Amino acid sequence: MMKRSGLLAVGAALTLTANLSAQPSGWPPPAGQLTVNVWPGAAPGSPTNLPPEADTTTAKDNLIAGRSLVRLGNVSVPTLTLYRAKGTSGSNPAVVVFPGGGYSILAIDLEGTEVCDWLNAAGVTCVLLKYRVPNTGPYPKSPAALQDAQRAVGLVRAHAQEWGIDPKRVGVLGFSAGAHLAAALSTHYDKRLYDSMDAADQLSCRPDFAVIVYPGYLALADKNFAANPDINPTADTPATFIVQAEDDPVHVENATVYFMQLKNAKVPAELHIYAKGGHGYGLRRTELPVTTWPQAVETWLHTIGILAAR
């Protein structure tokens, strides 16, 4: 564990990064929430002359639980937005949230801001990562989203004291492609995929726990649902919670195959499979039992000691 002086030194080294205001966005964060750029300059390998970031939702897009959602596209400037836990003090657990969207868009409210509202109410600080899309994953097809995720967790630990976060209780939670990103970070944290920028990159980007919600890209449908060879859990992979519906068109094998990989690596893991639910429901409640998964996550967080025992 870093001494207090070390944490202060890291904070001083990151002052410039923390004070960088986020670029104009197709999704403005709620007023009063701290938002910082993930990178002190241009993100690694970023192309130039990209179209502007925008909500790509159209009138023909489907609704979730009768409500629309923001499908944020053309993200070239990744950011972190901090949502502090409500009614708490001291060092809280934190979760870095990765919205899904097939590495093409980000469902930034359905699988982002709404998730942070829930986590805050449960006593967990939320840090929402707006990572680069489109065509930024899955790793290793592109390293961009995983670069953003690695950098994000390092930044959270670097700002832990400032943001009231326990640096030893920093987890990740992702949906669909974001769930794949959470699994990729859980198994690719030992080496950064970019050149070090500052003191944040000297801190571990290994999550302390992971929540994987209706994942994709973890089992290969064209290979008889073999495990993705680029996702290889070891005994050091963090404890993981997985949930998916059996009728998910993205294929429930993504959950079951990854669970067996974790089990074989002796990683503590909890798997929830529901009969119906499809894909992309986020936290929006319907009559289907699968939409009660957040309560199961809260119970699990108490079970593994991230939240205080009840």
Token pair 């950098």: residue: 151
**What pLDDT is attached to residue 50?**
82
For residues 286 and 290, what is the distance between their CA atoms, to the nearest angstrom?
9
DSSP label at residue 67: B
Measure the CA–CA gap between 164 and 179, rounded to whole angstroms.
26
Query: Structure tokens of 258?
Result: 């990854």
Residue 24 pLDDT? 56
- The answer as to CATH 3.20.10.10 being correct for domain 61-303 is no
Cα separation, 96 vs 84, whole angstroms: 12
Cα separation of 230 and 51, whole Å?
Answer: 31
Please tell me the predicted confidence (pLDDT) of residue 26.
75
Question: How far is 248 from 169, CA to CA, in rounded Å?
Answer: 31
Question: What is the residue-level pLDDT of the chain in tens, covering all 310 positions?
Answer: 333 334 434 444 444 344 344 455 678 888 889 999 999 999 999 887 889 999 999 988 889 999 999 999 999 999 999 999 987 667 999 999 999 999 999 999 999 999 999 999 999 999 999 999 999 999 999 999 999 999 999 999 999 999 999 999 999 999 999 999 999 999 999 999 999 999 999 999 999 999 999 999 999 999 999 999 999 999 999 999 999 999 999 999 999 999 999 999 999 999 999 999 999 999 999 999 999 999 999 999 999 999 987 6
Q: Which token pair is 77?
A: 């400037």
Q: How far is CA 170 from CA 269, 275, 279, 306, in A?
A: 17, 31, 26, 9
Q: At what angle do helices 177-187 and 144-158 cross, to 10 degrees?
A: 70
Tokens of 256: 């079951």
User: Cis ω on the peptide bond leading into residue 29 (within 30° of 0)?
Assistant: no
Instruction: Take residue 212 and report the two structure tokens written for it.
Output: 């994987």
Using CA atoms, how far apart are residues 237 and 76, in angstroms rounded to an integer?
A: 29
In sign, the C-alpha dihedral spanning 162, 164, 167, 172 is: negative
pLDDT at 211: 98
Q: Which residue has the tokens 């919670």?
A: 241
pLDDT of 9 reads 41
Q: What is the pLDDT of residue 291?
A: 96
pLDDT at 87: 72
On whether the CB atoms of residues 127 and 162 are closer than 8 A, the answer is no
Every domain of the chain and the residues it spans: 61-303
Nearest of 153, 99, 109, 163 to residue 131 by alpha carbon = 99
The residue length of the chain stands at: 310
The pLDDT of residue 49:
80
Tokens coding 297: 């996550």
